[in-house]
């Protein structure tokens, strides 16, 4: 449940203007936007993975050629190892996209879905405040409470 605290006179205004449905529509819109972004991210991840695997295969192939052609050369061995490392590094970003970024986007989509489906309650605040009090007596969080002059 989402509780929105408003000044008493604004409470009726917010209900007439459909604040509850506006919150639901906004978070449904954001969820849809993130779902499209997730599809783009997956497409980018797959494309990057195919390029990364091709680079890795080419690097390993060239490294094996170097090791076979110049087995006694330390420079050739070092270059072969460097190519192998480069091939694996080329797969860093695709792995990051497919293993981590996708899950973060899915978490946000789930959060926006839950917010959009949540019940919204509009409450008036300021009616039960005592002079000089830092909190309303009814459920007003201290982070947004303020003393009256």
Rounded CA-CA distance 82/87 in Å is 9
53 CB neighbour count, 10 Å cutoff:
14
pLDDT at 31 exceeding the cut of 50 = yes
Closest CA to 94 of 147, 30, 44, 144: 44
Global model pTM greater than 0.75 = no
> DSSP secondary-structure letter at 82?
H
* Residue whose pair of structure tokens reads 């460097």 in the numeric block: 82
Q: Which H/E stretch holds residue 110?
A: helix 102-117
pLDDT level of residue 130 (50, 70, 90 thresholds) = very low
pLDDT at 89 exceeding the cut of 90 = yes
Average of pLDDT values for 39-58?
96
Cβ–Cβ < 8 Å for 120, 110: no
């Amino acid at each position: 449940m989402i509780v929105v605290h408003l000044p008493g006179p604004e409470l009726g205004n917010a209900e007439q203007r459909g604040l509850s449905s506006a919150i639901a529509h906004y978070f449904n819109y954001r969820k849809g936007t993130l779902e499209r972004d997730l599809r783009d991210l997956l497409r980018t991840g797959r494309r990057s993975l195919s390029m990364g695997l091709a680079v890795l295969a080419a690097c390993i192939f060239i490294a094996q050629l170097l090791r076979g052609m110049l087995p006694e050369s330390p420079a050739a061995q070092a270059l072969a190892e460097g190519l192998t490392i480069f091939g694996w590094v080329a797969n860093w970003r695709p792995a990051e996209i497919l293993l981590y970024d996708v899950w973060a986007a899915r978490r946000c989509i789930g959060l926006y879905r839950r917010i959009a489906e949540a019940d919204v309650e509009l409450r008036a605040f300021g009616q039960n405040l005592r002079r000089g009090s830092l909190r309303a007596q009814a459920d007003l969080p201290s982070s947004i409470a303020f003393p009256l002059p």
